[in-house]
Amino acid sequence: MKRYSIFAVAREAMRYHAGWERAWRSPAPKKRYKVVVVGAGGHGLATAYYLGKVHGITDVAVIEKGWLGGGNTGRNTTIIRSNYLQDPSAAIYEKARALYENLSQDLNYNIMFSPRGLLMLGQTEHEVRGYQRTVHANALQGIETRWIGPQEVKKIVPILNIDGPRYPVLGALYQERGGTARHDAVAWGYARACSAMGMDIIQQCDVTGIRRDGNRVQGVSTTKGEIDCDQLALVVAGHSSVLAEKAGFRLPIESVALQAWVSEPIKPCMDVVVMANTVHGYMSQSDKGEMVIGGGTDGYNNYTQRGSWHHVEETTRALVETFPIISRLKMLRQWGGIVDMTGDRSPILSKTPVEGIFVNCGWGTGGFKAIPGSGYAMAELIARGQSPLADAFGLERFREGRFIDESVAAGVAH
Amino acid sequence: MLSLTCPCCGITAEETEFHPGGEAHLKRFGPGSSDDDFEGYLFGRKNPKGVHFERWRHSHGCGKWFLVARCTATLEVFASYSAQTTTPPVDVIKAIKAKRPDWEGYA
């Protein structure tokens, strides 16, 4: 791998940019790997990367039925934060956020991490109490967040209407080191680094079956042939249930559509991420100037990567009330992704009933921000059979009633 | 936007008039059952990519629960039918088979 640097840019400028090599190789699959990761999204690639970097396991293939980063990695609203209430979630999301801080240098690939700050608005007394509790919890967890009043909110976000008739802004949970990153670059950067370590990234390779020898995984059958492996990691978000069924077990997952959309580009007007969970919408401004907007999930099972229009209407209506200046904006694009929701809205990083198969799924609506931490914990789980960060996220928690109850506790967006 | 027909009052309306209620035909395991059965009943879901049987409530209408057979890969609705059944009725199975000959059937 040739390193990217200012000298490389200067060198290539002298020779018509003819010397740039492909960021990653696209080899034919080998017959056998030590570890096969299914799913070349952010989580799958990060899993492979930390397997190599931290644990020295580079006999790895990452196989992907579509194209790299073409699922939820390319469909989210790129928000990064770690202001969670429960200790296990705070730990893994903060690990991820901390890794994001230096990820560009680590990968030698500019992922455009922008810790611009993130506000979660408190718009009801209940929400205010909830967020103040989160601030106290974060202080104990070593995560830097604070509660700020409405005037400071207005100072940070001048375009915000804090005196809304229905839901006035009573304050906000502020994480200054939260922000955004370029989502595609995260996948590309990890892919490039994995390929440089000698791992094979195999795109357009659909897994058609999972082969077992008794209760032990043997390998996968794919559209590009049979691939054997010692260990198999399923990191496929919305399609986790489909692959689990091929492996012969069932997951506590339901797949639903989550949508996002962007406006036409406008001049810089908001340099933080704002989440308004009571009215149910969140917005940030991309580097191109588009207002990036996300809203709620549909309530019914869906694999179509299309959602219902009324969510677009509800969220846009709520945000127009919150940010009156966007009322004349035209919306440019809208898209959907299939998110994997668990019963407690917390992820699953776990061994499975089949020996050698691991799952990393259930990130639901909050996966992008977790990518480095998720990959780090998953790699440790695969390499060592145990990971402190992943311990609480095992499948057995559903049987034991040991939920990580973020869906009501932290006031997350869904 | 889904368009659903409520079999209780006969009205066809857009999905905003209804509320989804998750997988249908779950067998309830209560006190005295094994941990495996109870966990499966509470959390284990088929979540298929294809034919799905699910519960809906006509929340902004007659208020009744009913069941729908729908394809999660295309959003096509095959049939809606009474919630007073423990398995999909024969005519619903037939309607699905007519449109999805490869479907493996209800299990």
Packed helices A87-101 and A125-141: angle between N→C axes, nearest 10 degrees: 70
Q: Kindly provide the ipTM of the predicted complex, given to two decimals.
A: 0.94
Q: What share of chain A is helix, strand, coil (3-state, %, to 5)?
A: 35, 25, 40
B106 belongs to a structural domain: no
For residue A3, give every residue at least 6 positions away whose Cβ sits within 8 Å of its Cβ, in sequence order, or none. Answer: A108
B50, part of any domain: yes
Helix (H, G, I), strand (E, B) or coil at A33: strand
CB A390 within 8 A of CB A361: no
Residue A155 corresponds to which tokens in the numbers above? 């100072």
- Report helix, strand or coil for A147: strand
Q: Is residue B46 part of a domain?
A: yes
Note the Cα A255 to chain centre separation in Å: 16
Q: Kindly state the average pLDDT of the residues A84-97.
A: 96
Q: Would you state the pLDDT for residue A407?
A: 66
What six digits make up the tokens of B74? 């295309």
Quick one: which H or E segment has residue A216? strand A216-222
Nearest CA in chain A to B72: A302
Residue A414's pLDDT band, with cuts at 50, 70 and 90, is: very low
DSSP string, chain B: --EEE-TTT--EEEGGGSEEEEESSPPP--TTS-HHHHHHHHT-----SSEEEEEEE-TTTT--EEEEEEETTT--EEEEEESS-SS--HHHHHHHHHH-TT-----
What's the pLDDT score for residue B1? 85
CA trace torsion A297, A303, A306, A312 (10° rounding): -10
Q: Can you say how many angstroms the Cα of residue A103 is from the centroid of all Cα atoms in its chain?
A: 15
Collect all residues from B whose CB is shorter than 8 A from any CB in A: 1-2, 15-16, 19-20, 22-23, 35-36, 39-40, 42-49, 52, 54, 70, 72-75
Nearest to A197 by CA among A22, A41, A379, A57: A57
- Summarize pLDDT for A20-30 with one digit per residue, the tens: 999 999 999 99
Q: Answer whether B2 sits within 8 Å of A398, measured CB to CB.
A: no
In whole angstroms, give the CA distance from residue A38 to residue A57: 16
Strand partners, A337: A258
Instruction: For residue A15, give Cα distances in angstroms to A7, A10, A11.
Output: 13, 9, 7
Q: Test B72 with A302 for CB contact under 8 angstroms.
A: yes
CB contact under 8 A, A250 and B72: no
pLDDT at A195 over 70: yes
- B105 is a domain residue: no
Q: Which domains does chain A have, with CATH numbers?
A: 27-82+84-108+183-252+344-400 (3.50.50.60), 113-177+255-342 (3.30.9.10)
Question: Do B49 and A239 lie within an 8 Å CB cutoff?
Answer: yes
Nearest residue to A352 (alpha-carbon basis) of A247, A269, A281 = A247
State pLDDT tens for residues A349-379. Answer: 999 999 999 999 999 998 999 999 999 999 9
Position B67 in a domain: yes
What is the total count of domains within chain B?
1
Crossing angle (nearest 10°) for helices A183-196 and A42-55 = 40
B interface mutation test: which of A234, A301, A407 has the most B CBs within 10 A? Answer: A301
In a domain, B95, yes or no: yes
Whole-prediction pTM: 0.95
Q: pLDDT at residue A187 above 90?
A: yes
Query: What whole-number percentage of chain A has pLDDT above 70?
Result: 98
B68: nearest CA partner in chain A: A300
Assess if residue B79 is contained within a domain: yes
Best residue of B14, B35, B43, B76 to probe chain A, by most A CBs closer than 10 Å: B43
List the CATH number of the domain containing B67.
3.30.2270.10
User: What are the pLDDT digits (tens) for A322-347?
Assistant: 999 999 999 999 999 999 999 889 99
Is the pLDDT confidence value at A408 over 70? no
How far apart, in Å, do the first and last CA atoms of chain A sit?
41
> What's the domain range around B74?
3-99
The verdict on a CB contact (< 8 Å) between A399 and B39 is yes
